[in-house]
Amino acid sequence: MAQINLRRVILGGLAAGLFLNVTESFLNLVLLGKANEAALMALNVPPIGGGAIAFYVLWGFVQGLVTVWLYAGLRSRLGAGPRTAVVAGLIVWLLAYAYPQLGNAFSHITPWSLVAVYLPWALVEAPLAALLGGWIYREG
Protein backbone atom coordinates (compact mmCIF):
# COMPACT_ATOMS: atom_id res chain seq x y z
CA MET A 1 0.00 0.00 0.00
CA ALA A 2 1.43 3.36 -1.04
CA GLN A 3 1.90 6.24 1.37
CA ILE A 4 -0.37 9.26 1.01
CA ASN A 5 1.45 12.01 -0.87
CA LEU A 6 0.91 14.94 1.52
CA ARG A 7 2.32 17.48 -0.94
CA ARG A 8 -0.30 16.48 -3.51
CA VAL A 9 -3.02 16.39 -0.83
CA ILE A 10 -2.15 20.00 -0.05
CA LEU A 11 -2.09 21.04 -3.72
CA GLY A 12 -5.33 19.24 -4.53
CA GLY A 13 -6.91 20.36 -1.27
CA LEU A 14 -6.09 24.01 -1.88
CA ALA A 15 -7.55 23.80 -5.40
CA ALA A 16 -10.68 22.09 -4.07
CA GLY A 17 -10.90 24.68 -1.29
CA LEU A 18 -10.60 27.55 -3.75
CA PHE A 19 -13.38 26.00 -5.83
CA LEU A 20 -15.55 25.64 -2.71
CA ASN A 21 -14.90 29.24 -1.66
CA VAL A 22 -15.79 30.62 -5.08
CA THR A 23 -18.97 28.57 -5.44
CA GLU A 24 -20.05 29.17 -1.82
CA SER A 25 -19.49 32.92 -2.24
CA PHE A 26 -21.63 32.95 -5.36
CA LEU A 27 -24.36 30.93 -3.67
CA ASN A 28 -24.45 32.83 -0.39
CA LEU A 29 -23.83 36.36 -1.66
CA VAL A 30 -25.41 36.44 -5.10
CA LEU A 31 -28.12 33.78 -5.18
CA LEU A 32 -29.17 33.67 -1.51
CA GLY A 33 -27.86 36.99 -0.21
CA LYS A 34 -31.24 38.60 0.52
CA ALA A 35 -32.71 35.38 1.91
CA ASN A 36 -29.69 34.92 4.19
CA GLU A 37 -30.08 38.50 5.45
CA ALA A 38 -33.78 37.94 6.12
CA ALA A 39 -33.07 34.70 7.99
CA LEU A 40 -30.54 36.47 10.22
CA MET A 41 -32.92 39.35 10.85
CA ALA A 42 -35.69 36.92 11.81
CA LEU A 43 -33.35 35.48 14.45
CA ASN A 44 -32.36 38.99 15.58
CA VAL A 45 -28.74 38.22 14.67
CA PRO A 46 -26.42 40.84 13.16
CA PRO A 47 -25.23 40.46 9.56
CA ILE A 48 -22.22 38.26 8.89
CA GLY A 49 -19.06 40.28 9.53
CA GLY A 50 -15.43 40.08 8.49
CA GLY A 51 -14.43 37.61 11.20
CA ALA A 52 -17.11 35.14 10.18
CA ILE A 53 -16.24 35.55 6.51
CA ALA A 54 -12.57 34.88 7.27
CA PHE A 55 -13.57 31.76 9.20
CA TYR A 56 -15.72 30.47 6.33
CA VAL A 57 -12.95 31.08 3.78
CA LEU A 58 -10.43 29.26 5.97
CA TRP A 59 -12.97 26.48 6.55
CA GLY A 60 -13.46 26.11 2.78
CA PHE A 61 -9.76 25.37 2.43
CA VAL A 62 -9.83 22.96 5.39
CA GLN A 63 -12.77 21.17 3.79
CA GLY A 64 -10.88 20.95 0.50
CA LEU A 65 -7.86 19.47 2.26
CA VAL A 66 -9.96 16.94 4.18
CA THR A 67 -11.80 15.96 0.99
CA VAL A 68 -8.58 15.24 -0.92
CA TRP A 69 -7.05 13.48 2.08
CA LEU A 70 -10.16 11.28 2.24
CA TYR A 71 -9.92 10.59 -1.49
CA ALA A 72 -6.24 9.63 -1.08
CA GLY A 73 -7.15 7.25 1.72
CA LEU A 74 -10.01 5.67 -0.20
CA ARG A 75 -7.87 4.99 -3.29
CA SER A 76 -6.35 1.86 -1.76
CA ARG A 77 -9.82 0.38 -1.17
CA LEU A 78 -11.85 1.70 -4.09
CA GLY A 79 -9.17 2.42 -6.67
CA ALA A 80 -8.02 5.69 -8.14
CA GLY A 81 -10.34 7.70 -10.32
CA PRO A 82 -13.50 9.76 -10.56
CA ARG A 83 -15.78 7.23 -8.83
CA THR A 84 -13.64 7.29 -5.69
CA ALA A 85 -13.45 11.09 -5.79
CA VAL A 86 -17.25 11.31 -6.00
CA VAL A 87 -17.56 8.91 -3.05
CA ALA A 88 -15.21 11.14 -1.03
CA GLY A 89 -17.25 14.19 -2.04
CA LEU A 90 -20.51 12.50 -1.03
CA ILE A 91 -19.09 11.54 2.37
CA VAL A 92 -18.04 15.15 2.92
CA TRP A 93 -21.45 16.36 1.73
CA LEU A 94 -23.20 14.10 4.23
CA LEU A 95 -21.05 15.15 7.19
CA ALA A 96 -20.29 18.80 6.37
CA TYR A 97 -23.51 19.86 4.65
CA ALA A 98 -26.48 17.55 5.14
CA TYR A 99 -26.10 16.85 8.85
CA PRO A 100 -25.56 20.47 9.98
CA GLN A 101 -28.09 21.99 7.59
CA LEU A 102 -30.82 19.51 8.45
CA GLY A 103 -30.05 19.96 12.15
CA ASN A 104 -30.36 23.72 11.77
CA ALA A 105 -33.62 23.38 9.86
CA PHE A 106 -35.18 21.00 12.37
CA SER A 107 -34.03 23.35 15.16
CA HIS A 108 -35.70 26.31 13.38
CA ILE A 109 -32.38 28.12 12.96
CA THR A 110 -32.24 27.95 9.16
CA PRO A 111 -35.45 28.23 7.10
CA TRP A 112 -36.35 25.15 5.09
CA SER A 113 -36.49 27.35 1.98
CA LEU A 114 -32.74 27.99 2.30
CA VAL A 115 -31.94 24.37 3.09
CA ALA A 116 -33.94 23.30 0.01
CA VAL A 117 -31.55 25.33 -2.17
CA TYR A 118 -28.37 24.81 -0.21
CA LEU A 119 -28.33 21.01 0.05
CA PRO A 120 -28.84 20.24 -3.67
CA TRP A 121 -26.25 22.90 -4.52
CA ALA A 122 -23.76 21.31 -2.14
CA LEU A 123 -24.65 17.83 -3.41
CA VAL A 124 -23.17 18.92 -6.74
CA GLU A 125 -20.47 21.20 -5.33
CA ALA A 126 -18.80 18.74 -2.92
CA PRO A 127 -18.26 15.93 -5.46
CA LEU A 128 -17.03 18.46 -8.05
CA ALA A 129 -14.50 19.79 -5.53
CA ALA A 130 -13.43 16.20 -4.84
CA LEU A 131 -13.07 15.52 -8.56
CA LEU A 132 -10.87 18.59 -8.97
CA GLY A 133 -8.72 17.71 -5.97
CA GLY A 134 -8.58 14.05 -6.97
CA TRP A 135 -7.48 15.02 -10.48
CA ILE A 136 -4.53 16.88 -8.97
CA TYR A 137 -3.66 14.20 -6.42
CA ARG A 138 -1.02 11.63 -7.39
CA GLU A 139 0.79 9.08 -5.26
CA GLY A 140 4.54 8.80 -5.25
Q: Is the predicted pLDDT of residue 126 greater than 80, yes or no? A: yes
In this prediction, residue 21 carries a pLDDT of 98
pLDDT tens-digit map of 42-85: 999 999 999 999 999 999 999 999 999 999 999 999 999 999 99
Cβ 139 vs Cβ 4: under 8 Å: yes
- Work out the end-to-end distance of the chain between its first and last CA atoms, rounded to an integer number of angstroms: 11
Question: Above pLDDT 90, what percent of the chain?
Answer: 96
What 3-state DSSP class applies to 9? helix
In this prediction, residue 11 carries a pLDDT of 98
Please name the residue ranges forming H helices in the chain: 6-25, 33-42, 50-78, 82-92, 99-106, 112-136
Q: Is the predicted pLDDT of residue 90 greater than 80, yes or no? A: yes
In this prediction, residue 92 carries a pLDDT of 98
In this prediction, residue 75 carries a pLDDT of 96
Average pLDDT along the chain: 96
- Domain spans of the chain, in order of start: 6-136
pLDDT tens-digit map of 98-108: 999 999 999 99
Q: Is the predicted pLDDT of residue 140 greater than 80, yes or no? A: no
In this prediction, residue 1 carries a pLDDT of 58
**Alpha carbon distance 68, 94 (integer Å):** 16
